[in-house]
Amino acid sequence: MKRHLIFVVLLISITAYAQTADIEKEESDSISQAKLAGETYFEKKGYKGEQFFNKAWMQSDILLSTGKMVLGEKVKYNGLLDELIWANATVNQQFKLDKPMISEFWLKDEKGMTTHFKQITLNKSPSASQQSDFFAEVAVQGKLSLYIQLKISIVDKDNVTIDGILRRQETIRATPLYYLQLSSDNYLQLDKIKLKSFIQLFPTKKKQIDKLMKSNNFKLKTENDLIRLIKLLNDQETLTSPKI
């Protein structure tokens, strides 16, 4: 009788735990969906070129401006619009997420590689045509940080005939912009990946930069070179304030 009573108590406990776990999972899934908001999105097609950073939907973790995380949602980043597009599986609909609610997000590919994006705000735009708030890839974080705006721009417009109808076709291509940040909230735009342009931002460090590149036997020509240089500089003494 005693053994039978113990068995009944254990069975009730296990059942109650399973029900609680199911409820918590349902609440978690519901909360995950409810945290995201935006407007219905319909993709504009007909461009010559790719408008998305990732053509296929990718798993993403999203840090909201409230400080809360939304995990495992499928999204695409549209570099032409600078918008994060969300595939809502519950209603089978795509949404353009409200940008002010997103602080950062991480895209994960099938191999487990992650690309980190952050919304940054320029205190002063370099030009009237340059937006002041945008998503940028976090390439390097440290004493000197590098952010890459994976901007897609319209570079040409042509009249083309499709199925006997004359249409306007826009050609788009990647036109990345590079931003450097020290410990302050100021961002400096690097117009071109050239050693001369980089040194103009840090004129007092010209000798240090030249020596560093010679000792490591590389030139500043590509995006990977820029990332490498900044990582090497972060291993050196703290950089002084750049020339603005």
Report the DSSP beta bridge partners of residue 86.
75, 95
Residues 120 and 136 sit within 8 Å (Cβ to Cβ): yes
Q: What is the pLDDT of residues 28-57, one digit of tens each?
A: 444 444 489 999 999 998 899 999 999 999
203 and 185 belong to one structural domain? no
Same domain, 47 and 155: yes
Are both 80 and 141 inside the same structural domain? yes
Which pLDDT belongs to residue 131? 65
Q: Provide the 3-class DSSP secondary structure of residue 14.
A: helix
Please state which of the ranges 25-39, 64-78, 106-120 shows the lowest mean pLDDT.
25-39
pTM of the predicted protein model: 0.79
How many domains, in total, are found in the chain? Answer: 3
Same domain, 187 and 197: no
> Both 210 and 182 in a single domain?
no
Average pLDDT in the chain: 83
Instruction: Give residue 105's pLDDT band: very low, low, confident or very high (50, 70, 90).
Output: very high
Q: What is the dihedral of CA 194, 197, 198, 203, to 10 degrees?
A: 140
Average the pLDDT over each of 14-23, 110-119, 131-140, 173-182 and give the range with the smallest value: 14-23
Helix, strand or coil, per DSSP, at residue 95 = strand
Let me know whether 148 and 173 are in one domain. Answer: yes
Compute the distance between CA of residue 219 and CA of residue 194 in angstroms, rounded to an integer: 9
Taking each continuous run of H as one helix and of E as one strand, the counts in the chain are: 4, 13
Query: What residue type is assigned to position 88 of the chain?
Result: N
Do residue 48 and residue 167 come from a single domain? yes
Rounded Cα–Cα distance for residues 226 and 118 (Å)? 19
Over residues 142-161, mean pLDDT: 91
Extract the tokens encoding 236: 């050196």
**Is 105 in contact with 75 (CB distance < 8 Å)?**
yes
**154 in the same domain as 109:** yes
Are 198 and 175 found together in one domain?
no
- The verdict on 109 and 165 lying in the same domain is yes
Which of 191, 206, 221 delimits the end of a domain?
191
Same domain membership, residue 124 and residue 85 = yes
Structural domain that includes position 230: 193-244
Same domain, 79 and 1: no
Taking alpha carbons only, the member of 133, 237, 131, 241 closest to residue 180 is: 241
